[in-house]
Each structure stands twice: as structure tokens, then as C-alpha cells.
Amino acid sequence: MNFNLLGAIGRAVLAFLQIAGRLLLFSIEGLSHCIRPPYFPRLVLRQMIEVGYYSIPVVSLTALFSGMVLCLQSYTGFSRFSAEASIPMVVVISLTRELGPVMAGLMVAGRVGAAMAAEIGTMRVSEQIDAMTTLSTNPIKYLIAPRLIAGILMLPFLVLLADIVGVFGGYLVGVYKLDFNAQNYITNTFEFLETLDVVSGLVKAAVFGFLIALMGCYHGFNSKGGAQGVGRATTNAVVSGAMLVLVSNYIITEAFFAK
């Protein structure tokens, strides 16, 4: 057999390191432009509306149904050993620590990551990014930095919203379907909730926001080859954004809660 296994592994490792290196340089450059003047407040505001405001319906609906189904399923399990009183706590902790950030992150990766990659990718293949450079404007500062800032700032807000809506979903199912006492449900929800549960979720959200925007921008910025290239960039942005959300979620959880 003429297949060189070691060679193939070596090539894959080198390709991976190359991409990792490029990505690191790209994100350092992007972040450094976030904090160096001149700033573009109008562009940042526009991206914040795009990332934050327009994601509210998607994220709310996702969170609502996640909270509802969480309450329903916990009941199935917990009622078997008469621990129904813990359900509100399970719902709120699951939501604030995991489901809120992850669900919102995945939805935003699909919605915003794709839009960023498609827009920047089209600008790349139609030479608009080159044109920007010839007009003495740094495209990283003008295009990438505002999107990174918007991602980092808006995701925590969306996750906070997801937490609230999700708990409300659990409350609806608990009170109107499973016949909990409304007063008790709310009391039990907040009794064991700690600040760290919510804060860890918001920290996750900021990291996810950065990663999603970074993937959208990176793939768009480096797209080539016309419409097909933009399509590929969009797919890559969504897939890599979603994967990074899940991987970094585990790493951050480990950092916060590992004993």
C-alpha cells in the first residue's frame, strides 16, 4: 500500500497549526483595533442593534420552550422520588448555568455568524475591502472591530433575557400544568440560586459572543472565489461558531466549577 499515514497526519497537524496561528493573529489585530482610536460609534451601534435587538425574538422563543420542556422533564424524573419541590431550582440553575448561554449562543451563531460571513465575504469578493484600503481606511478597524465589540457586549444581554424568559417558561408549565403553587414556585426558584450561577452564564455569553463574531468575520474576510466562496465561508462560520460555543462552554464550566 502506497499510503503514507505519518505524512498524512503531519500534513493535517501542520494545516491545523497554520489555521490556528492565522486565527490568533487575526483576533489579536481585531481586538487591538477595538481599543485603539479612532472609534466608530455609529458602526458599533448598528452592529449592536443587528446582533442584539434583532436576535431578541429568536432567543426568547428558544429560551421559553427550553424552560418549559425542562420543567416538564424534571417533573417526570423528580416525581418518582417525591422531590417535586426541587424542580424550580433545577430549572433555574440549568438555565442560568448552561441552557441559557448555550441555546442563545447556538441561535446567534446561526443568525449573526452567517450574516457577518456573508456580508464581509461579499465585500471581499467584490473588491470592496480592497477599495476601503485604497481610501485610507483600515478594513479591520472599520468592519471587524465593531462586530467583535457588538458580539462581546450584546450576548450577555441576550443570555440574561434567555434566563428570565426560560424561568418564566418553567413557571408556566409548573403552575398551569403541574399544579404547583405559584408563590412556592417563585420562592423555590430564588432560594438556592447563587450569584455565581448567573455570572458564570454571563461570562460564557461574552466569550461566545466574541467567538461567534470572530468566526463570522474571519471566514468572511478570508473568503475567495465568488458566490461559491461566500457560501462556503458562511457555512464554515456557522459550523465553527457553533462548535467553538460548545467546546468553550465546557472549558469555562470547568474553570468556574471544577472542584
Longest distance between any two alpha carbons in the chain, whole Å: 72
Q: Which is nearer to another protein, 32 or 86 (CB)?
A: 32
Residue pointed to by grid coordinates 497554520: 18
| Residue 1 CB neighbours (<10 A) | 4
Which lies closer to another protein via its Cβ, residue 45 or residue 247? 45
Closest CB 120 distance from another protein, rounded Å: 11
Closer residue to another protein, CB minimum distance, 31 or 172: 31
Minimum distance, C-beta of residue 27 to another protein, in the bound complex (Å): 18
CB of 38 to another protein, least distance (A): 7
- Shortest approach of another protein to residue 222 CB, angstroms? 14
CB closer to another protein out of 119 and 197: 119
Tell me how many helices (H) and strands (E) the chain has.
Answer: 12, 0
- Site residues, another protein (CB under 8 A): 38, 119, 123, 126-128, 130-138, 142
173 and 71 Cβ atoms separated by less than 8 Å: yes
Neighbours of 167 (CB within 10 A): 27
Closest CA to 69 of 200, 77, 83: 77
